[in-house]
Amino acid sequence: MVIGITVICCMLLFCLLVGTVYFSKSKLKNTENKLYSRLVIITMIGLVLELLCFFFVAHKDVSSTYRILNEIINRAFLVYLLLWEFLFTEYMFFISFESREKFKERLKKTRKSIIGVLTIIYVIMAIIVIKLPLYYFNDGNYIYSYGMATNVLLLMGGLFIIIDIFSVCSNIKHITDKKYYPLFMLILMMIFVFVIRQINPGITVINSAFAFVTVLMYFTIENPDLKMVNELLRNRELLEDQIEDKSRFLFETSQEIKAPTKNIIGITKAFDKLDNDIDKKDAVRIIGDNANGILFRLNNILDISSMDANKIKVNEDYYNTSVFFNEIKGLIQNAIKDKNIALDFKVSSNVPNSLNGDNVKFKQVLMSVILNCIENTKKGYIRIYIDAIVRYDVARIIINIEDTGIGMDIEKINDILDDKSELNESDTSKLDKLDVDLKVSIKIIKLLGGSFNIKSEEDKGTTFTIVIDQKCKIEELTDIMKDIEKYSSDVYGRKRVLVVDDNKEELFTISNILGKYNIDINTTMSGKDCIDRLKAGEFYNLIIIDDELKGTSALATLEKLKENKKFKVPVVAMLEKDKEHFKKYYLDDGFSDIVLKEDITDEIERVIAKLL
């Protein structure tokens, strides 16, 4: 008995030390850490219960009160053992299935149902353990309990271990992962406990085995601090790549706008010096071509307000962009292997990993244009650069295809671009081919909701620009940012506030007021952008919105947000002083409060105190 109590006390001390270290650290609120936190807490409770079991079994005959307490404590201890086995099995199930992409989405949808069913099973088993007979042995040297209740508990322990082994076998490729070490140790210790129990049932070490496994798990779970650092470093690398690509994109775009603008300015300055009408007509044509080039950039590429998932015409299924563009690259390399042509093929880090669209027709258009470049390029290079502008759930894919081929004259370019006809029967018959002519390619890209532009000089080469909007999934980077966002909120207590106002001075003033608090401040000048942010999964504790927004009003924005039944974020309207008497109507419309612009500092501080 003395040895048993000593072992329990030692394990309790170890658990207290591990628990103190573990809970003193800031952690991500993920499933793995939540389950382990529960295991640590209940293990310490279980060790205390076991010590109490020794005491009350030894003194159960002192009085009727001691007998009742003995029964309660021993039954509670059995329920605890069952709970530990249950939580450990849930932990093994999680690390085996939820960490695998194949099951991740499915488990998100069925998690509550699975936990509900398992909880019901646990409650039923706990009731059975409580109701079944339980007897006590005490000869002064050994103290233990036995009976049907303990037999059922051992049976359930064996069943739980079988489930654990099944979970491990389902992820057999990662069986050497250190996260499975506690299970292997538990199996070995359960064999040891079974052998000891057969030799001498008075030596009770099962709970000490559970405690030892719990302590071991601390060294096998991911260090939450290290994980956060790794995520931040990884995120920084991704962001640095994206910043570099965006800088390059902005530089090239600015140059593409500056060049035709300078051409227009130069031609207009020289226009009065032209002597005949033919030269003047050529000058006007060149001005028009340059202006169209600028307009294409502004409208079809840089106008992100036109990026709307609802406007995407053809949706098929999600496809992996890395695989998609690698296939195209492979086809090009095969096509030019016997030619004196160099290939420069690059996909920007701005391009999402997964897109939704008609990738078959998209590939058909790209390959048709590229094969046209190969056909008209005898030597030199073909340069292909794929970039993207991502706005929430829409990605604007921009493909520049440049060659050093024979080029085209302006009449041919206009003939290709000015064809406004729809796909006819002759065009449709070509759709099963990988290579179609440029006119059909333009019709297909328009069918997909995209746009097409050509810039060319004879004997110098041609540049094709294809722009198409496609839906995109929330990427892994977004998941990391959500974890970090949640980590920031949980650990540092930082709240997130979105301010919607199309007046720059008011945005600046409100940001300065909020800056005095421990708050993450986000701003936007558009009600539609606010709606898109919330749709894309961004989380805020408070939204402050100007009543006099241009475009989508404050009320219209709120009504759109509330179309999502799960939307519970408090929304505050900013009003001019002369609208104060309408406060009741704004509150009736669903606003959580109003603030008056004339007393903006005091009003914002009041709302922060009330709602945050």
- Hey, what are 427's tokens? 């065009």
Question: What percent of the chain has a predicted confidence (pLDDT) above 70?
Answer: 79
Q: What is the mean pLDDT of residues 100-114?
A: 62
Question: What percent of the chain has a predicted confidence (pLDDT) above 90?
Answer: 17
So what's the pLDDT on residue 480? 46
Does the pLDDT of residue 392 top 60, yes or no? yes
Better-predicted residue by pLDDT, 260 or 250: 260
The structural domains of the chain, with segments of one domain joined by +, span 2-222, 236-472, 494-611
* d(C-alpha 108, C-alpha 115), whole Å: 12
Q: What is the mean pLDDT of residues 159-185?
A: 79
Better-predicted residue by pLDDT, 442 or 434: 442
Does the pLDDT of residue 520 top 80, yes or no? yes
So what's the pLDDT on residue 239? 57
Does the pLDDT of residue 485 top 60, yes or no? no
What is the band of 476 on the pLDDT scale with cuts at 50, 70, 90?
A: very low
Taking only the tens place, the pLDDT of each residue in 278-322 is 777 778 777 877 787 777 777 666 666 566 555 555 556 788 898
Collect all residues with Cβ–Cβ distance below 8 Å to 388 and sequence separation of at least 6: 348, 350, 351, 352, 395, 396, 397, 398
So what's the pLDDT on residue 146? 77
Collect all residues with Cβ–Cβ distance below 8 Å to 103 and sequence separation of at least 6: 97
CATH of 236-472, picked from 3.40.50.300, 3.40.50.2300, 3.40.50.720, 3.30.565.10, is 3.30.565.10
Does the pLDDT of residue 19 top 50, yes or no? yes
User: DSSP H helical segments within 172-219, as ranges?
Assistant: 181-199, 206-218
Q: What is the mean pLDDT of residues 505-533?
A: 86
So what's the pLDDT on residue 269? 77
What is the average pLDDT value for the chain, to the nearest integer?
80
* d(C-alpha 419, C-alpha 427), whole Å: 13
Which of 484, 455, 434 is CA-nearest to residue 334?
434
Q: What is the mean pLDDT of residues 441-457?
A: 85
* d(C-alpha 47, C-alpha 80), whole Å: 10
Better-predicted residue by pLDDT, 241 or 83: 83
CATH 3.40.1190.20 fits 2-222, yes or no: no
* d(C-alpha 48, C-alpha 211), whole Å: 12
- Hey, what are 452's tokens? 């097409």
Residue type, 70: N
* d(C-alpha 121, C-alpha 155), whole Å: 14
Taking only the tens place, the pLDDT of each residue in 22-77 is 888 766 667 788 888 899 999 999 999 988 888 888 777 778 888 888 888 988 98
Better-predicted residue by pLDDT, 460 or 109: 460
Better-predicted residue by pLDDT, 329 or 550: 329
Find the range with the poorest average confidence among 134-143, 387-396, 529-538, 556-565: 134-143
Does the pLDDT of residue 409 top 60, yes or no? yes
What is the band of 237 on the pLDDT scale with cuts at 50, 70, 90?
A: low
What is the band of 439 on the pLDDT scale with cuts at 50, 70, 90?
A: confident
For every residue of 404-442, which 3-state class applies, written as one string? Answer: CCCCCCHHHHHHHHCCCCCCCHHHHCCCCCCCCCHHHHH
So what's the pLDDT on residue 233? 60
Q: What is the mean pLDDT of residues 502-526?
A: 86
* d(C-alpha 187, C-alpha 96), whole Å: 17
* d(C-alpha 591, C-alpha 435), whole Å: 56
CATH 2.60.120.260 fits 494-611, yes or no: no
What is the band of 383 on the pLDDT scale with cuts at 50, 70, 90?
A: very high
So what's the pLDDT on residue 241? 63
